Structure 1
């Protein structure tokens, strides 16, 4: 009865546009009051503080800052120039460039919204200028930006690992193969569109231009080597790698001597606000998580579902559907904070590897970023392209199918995403 009342309170607050973090905190406080009385509220502030100051969470603002520095110092433009020289000779080459640069930018920022805001402001106008339909430009940019939460580093993966008590580094490693599969699939769909609509070839292949743009972008290539090499080699933790990413981005920015301070300030402010929202969610989730744990809700839910079926693949199917549905209505951070602590006992009881499940959750939420009504990444791309969200959604459907296909592969053929984890850590 108490659980039903809290759910009503939470949904009512969200419907009247109360921020999710506030609604979650109010519902958690109400639950503690109803079940344990006012005495349970004595340590609320301390619990929230402890929950939001975990060392692992420092990686979130660090990766956001690294992406901001990267975009403000000419690094992004040099990446675009190199990838364009490398694959611009293919029909629809600029669409391929879009995916390729998103793949690289994803290795720095860890945020799909940061990715689409940074790259979309450059790529979408350029694609429109070259004759690409604005709906196609927005759809491709939006979908390729979602690679940012699949390819390491990934802010949602950090949040999942903290919520589920699992390894951030192993999650990052597990994301490599799905990210590359997703990029290949998006490029394949983009090439199909290019052939069908006779989209332009950007330039003939010129080895000299490839060499020149490669040399110009060479300092930039040190960034993923430092971040991913450090993590995969076991030299640094994910949090330490985030600090190294900021330092390396600053050094590369100084090398190019093109730091746009106005753009950097704006990106840092946006990143600060994004981080603040995430931290508020984490802090509020401590209250709700504490109440649910004391009330044995996750354990009871796990027992009920396991009594229905103990087949882990059926359980994964149910959870996939569940996360896809909540992805329509919640941002990825909110979905992880709200749901993951509840389902963790279930995945342990079903014998599902928490790292594998973290990847499944991340892929589901990447798809959720493309599906209205919330669709934060899609909305950002549509805003830049000045395109109607529903028209863009129609064009985006084949790209979403690619992401769904990667999700199904990773869910039911876990050897594909997990082989690197097995190689490096087990």
Structure 2
């Protein structure tokens, strides 16, 4: 079976809406059989892909996000942000970005963020006079902060594939995630500055105090997780375990999490983890087929023959990651492309940490872009909206994200400042 036939089969299965993992596994197994390889080799490749110590952090960070969701942390953050910003024009837009930023320290997933916060924020915006497109756009784009801000699941996947420090990648991702939030707030300001139909709430210190008191403990989670990693107290996997324990204690203390609800929380975490690991395993199987057909060498020769400028190389990586992100899950894109692009980046003198941050941020844009933007489908289900409404509502908010990617492309050393200062 030729590489062209393999790619055509995968494309056809994806068009038919076959889950990504199975769209990879079927044609890859057919390729192995057609080239005389054993099924035992396929089993070994699948097992080896998930037998990675850094990947142990993935199920724990997923469980952390599930616990935070069931513990009602998003509701507490929303109430506090609204109490502070309620009287500001466009307050719910800023609240959406702020709550997503706060919740991102615990979720690590754009889909989890959009699902947890969209149910709360979109109806509140529609009741307050915001347009449906604006509500969908700001909630969807704000959810993209979660996979960039630590603890980022794509960052854990990249660190495992590239054999780089997860802590260094986490540290390098903090500033881009904060810049994403600032950029989205600027777009909110531009879009709502002349809209007088939006309702506001009165500012009251007692309400700020009451809601602020309720978020003190939840905001300790990022201090424990990221502070422990960057301070050298924990490995990322250990930090994830500590974060899970911390969030479970909060949930039981608030009585929003019960022993009876634990099976549901654990089932949700297991299902999500299984889906991610299945994608990693299937993409590794496809990656073997690519390696056997010398795809990494061909791509390397093409890029090095096309340009010797590392900036142009990063621009090509940005375009490739964004395009692939529109059709594939970020985990699948990373598993397929990192083994190909990482060796090439080293020939250009590009730091792997900068490459990882650029790939993750650019792929997040694809989550809000048809045909397979995962966040689009989540928001469609929540708001009973059309795909076009979600996409066109998100377009203005994509501008600062693209600008951020260009900033990383032209000044990749800037995002390395924090990990270098921390000695990571």
TM over 0.5: yes
- Contact 1:72/1:260 (8 A) holds in 2: no
CA distance in 1, matches of 2:260, 2:398: 35
Whether 1:327 and 2:325 are equivalent positions in the alignment is yes
After TM superposition, give the deviation of residue 152 of structure 1 in Å. Answer: 0.9
After TM superposition, give the deviation of residue 265 of structure 1 in Å. Answer: 5.4
After TM superposition, give the deviation of residue 262 of structure 1 in Å. Answer: 7.9
CA distance in 2, matches of 1:29, 1:253: 44
Match of 2:308 in 1: 310
Match of 2:222 in 1: 224
Match of 2:367 in 1: 369
- Contact 1:88/1:94 (8 A) holds in 2: yes
After TM superposition, give the deviation of residue 375 of structure 1 in Å. Answer: 1.2
- For residues 297-327 of structure 1, the C-alpha deviation after alignment (integer angstroms, 9 at most, x for no partner) is 3133212321221111111111211122122
CA distance in 1, matches of 2:228, 2:100: 21
Whether 1:124 and 2:115 are equivalent positions in the alignment is no
**Larger CA deviation: 145-154 vs 405-414:** 405-414
After TM superposition, give the deviation of residue 88 of structure 1 in Å. Answer: 2.2
For 1:193-342, list aligned pairs within 5 A: 193-200=191-198, 202-259=200-257, 268-342=266-340
Match of 2:20 in 1: 20
**Larger CA deviation: 356-365 vs 336-345:** 336-345
RMSD: 2.1
CA distance in 1, matches of 2:301, 2:342: 12
**Which of 94, 100, 103 is the matching residue for 1:102?**
100
Aligned partner of residue 259 in structure 1, secondary structure: coil
Structure 1 residue runs without a partner (length 5+): none
Aligned partner of residue 387 in structure 1, secondary structure: coil
For 1:65-104, list aligned pairs within 5 A: 65-104=63-102
- For residues 161-196 of structure 1, the C-alpha deviation after alignment (integer angstroms, 9 at most, x for no partner) is 222222222111111111111101111111222222
Match of 2:411 in 1: 413
**Larger CA deviation: 399-408 vs 4-13:** 4-13
CA distance in 1, matches of 2:206, 2:411: 42
Whether 1:159 and 2:188 are equivalent positions in the alignment is no
CA distance in 1, matches of 2:121, 2:89: 16
CA distance in 1, matches of 2:332, 2:63: 21
Aligned partner of residue 425 in structure 1, secondary structure: coil
Provide the aligned length of Structure 1 versus Structure 2: 424
After TM superposition, give the deviation of residue 225 of structure 1 in Å. Answer: 0.6
User: Structure 1 residues 15, 288: closer, same or farther in 2, change over 3 A?
Assistant: same
Match of 2:3 in 1: 3
TM-score after normalising by structure 2: 0.93
**Larger CA deviation: 80-89 vs 220-229:** 80-89
